[in-house]
Structure 1
Amino acid sequence: MMRDSIALDSTRLAALQQTPLWDFALTFYARPGVEQACLTLQEAASIDVCELLFHSWLYAHGLEALPVPLSTLRQARREWQAGITEVLRGLRRDLKSTVNPSETVTTLRERIKQAELLAERENLQRWQTWAWDNDQSSAHLRNRRENPHDAGRWLQERLLLPQDETSPDCDTEATSAIQYAFAVLGQQLDPLQRAR
C-alpha cells in the first residue's frame, strides 16, 4: 500500500542504504534493452546516464529527490561528467577511429575505457553519498509523490525539461527514439520496485 504522505519514510531510506547505487546500476543496466536505451538517451537527448541511474535507484525504493537541493547536486555532477568522464570518452572514441591500431594503441584505448568506467563509478558514488547523508536525507529526499503506472514517464519528467521534449533540434525520428528508450527503461524498472 502506498502511503499518502510524501515525508521521508525511514524504512524506505534504510532499504535504500542497504542497496548501493553501483550494485543497483549494474543489475539494472544488465536488464534487456536498458544499455541501449541509456546510450540512446545519452546521444539523442544529452542525458547523463549516471543521473538516470540515480533516479531509477530512488524510484525502485519509492523515493524521489527534492527539486531545489537536486539542482545544486546536478550542477556539480554535470561538471564532473563534462570535465572527467566526457573527456575520457572522447579520447576513447578518437582512438577507436584509428586505422589499423597498433597493440599499444589498443591497450591504451582499453585503459582509457577502464578509467572512464571508474569515473562513472565515482560519479555514482557521489550521487549515493548525497542521498545517504543521514543528517540531510530528509532535506534531500521524500517519498515518491505518486505510484505511477508509467515509470518511464516518471523518469522522463525528472530528466528532461518540458522544452527538451519538443526541442526544435529533435526531429520526429529522434523524438520517437527518446520516447521508446524511456518506455524500455520503465518496463525494466517496474519489476525492480521494492515491496512497500
Structure 2
Amino acid sequence: MPNLDLWTFALNCYAREGVETACLELQSQGADVCVLICAAWLEARGVARNQERMCVLEEVAAPWRHIVVEPLRELRQAWRSPAEQDEALRELRKTLKTLELQAERSLLERLQTASREWDESADANQWLSALAPKGSCRVALETLRNAAYQTQLELAGV
C-alpha cells in the first residue's frame, strides 16, 4: 500500500464513528493519542513492531507532549467553566484549542519522520496493544484499530 502521510491518516481515522470517544477514553487512562494514532497507522500499514521502534516513538513524543501539548491542554481545560461566563476568555480558549491541534500536528509530523524508514513486513504485529497504557479499554483499542484499517484501505483506494 502507498505510504500515506500520518496527518491525513489521523484526520480521516479520527473522523470515523466512535474514534473520538475511544481516543478520549484512552487519553483519560494516560495514553498519548498521537502516539496511538501513529501506532494504528504503522499497524494498518503492516510495519513490524519491536522494542527499539517503540522506544523511538516515545523518545520523540515525550518531550513535545510534556513541554507543549499537555500545558496547552491543561490550560484549555482549566478555562472551560470560566469561559462559559466570559466571551473574551471563550475566544482565548478557542485559540488555545487551535494551538493544541497545531502542536499535535507537529508531533504527528515528528513521529512520521522518525518512522519514515520503517518498511512493511510480513511479521507485523500489534502496535496499539503494546503502546497503550496497561489496563486500557480493549473496546477503545479495537475501535481505533478497526478505524485505522478502514482508513488505510479507503485512502489507498482499495
How high is the TM-score relative to the length of structure 1? 0.70
**Do the aligned partners of 1:25 and 1:53 also contact (CA within 8 Å) in 2?**
yes
**How many residue pairs align between the two structures?**
155
Written as runs of structure 1 = structure 2, the 5 A alignment for 1:130-169 is: 130-132=114-116, 137=117, 140-141=118-119, 143=121, 145-146=123-124, 154-160=126-132, 164-165=134-135
* TM-aligned CA deviation for residue 82 of structure 1: 1.4
- Over aligned residue pairs, what C-alpha RMSD do you find? 2.4
Written as runs of structure 1 = structure 2, the 5 A alignment for 1:20-169 is: 20-44=5-29, 46-98=30-82, 100-132=84-116, 137=117, 140-141=118-119, 143=121, 145-146=123-124, 154-160=126-132, 164-165=134-135
Structure 1 residue ranges without an equivalent (≥5) = 1-11, 149-153, 166-174
Determine the structure 2 residue equivalent to 1:8. none
Q: Compared with structure 1, are the counterparts of its residues 130 and 155 closer, same or farther at alpha carbon in structure 2 (3 Å cutoff)?
A: closer
Q: Compared with structure 1, are the counterparts of its residues 156 and 66 closer, same or farther at alpha carbon in structure 2 (3 Å cutoff)?
A: closer
Structure 2 residue ranges without an equivalent (≥5) = none
Give the percent of matched residue pairs that are identical in Structure 1 and Structure 2. 32
How high is the TM-score relative to the length of structure 2? 0.85
Deviations 1:117-157 (A, max 9, x none): 0000000000011122xxxx2xx5551515x7xxxxx2442
Higher relative contact order (CA 8 A, sep 6+): 2
* TM-aligned CA deviation for residue 56 of structure 1: 1.2
* TM-aligned CA deviation for residue 76 of structure 1: 3.1
* TM-aligned CA deviation for residue 180 of structure 1: 1.5
* TM-aligned CA deviation for residue 107 of structure 1: 0.8
Distance 1:188 1:119 in 2: 23
Distance 1:99 1:30 in 2: 26
Letter in 2 for 1:85: V
User: Is 1:185 matched up with 2:144?
Assistant: yes
**Do the aligned partners of 1:65 and 1:141 also contact (CA within 8 Å) in 2?**
no
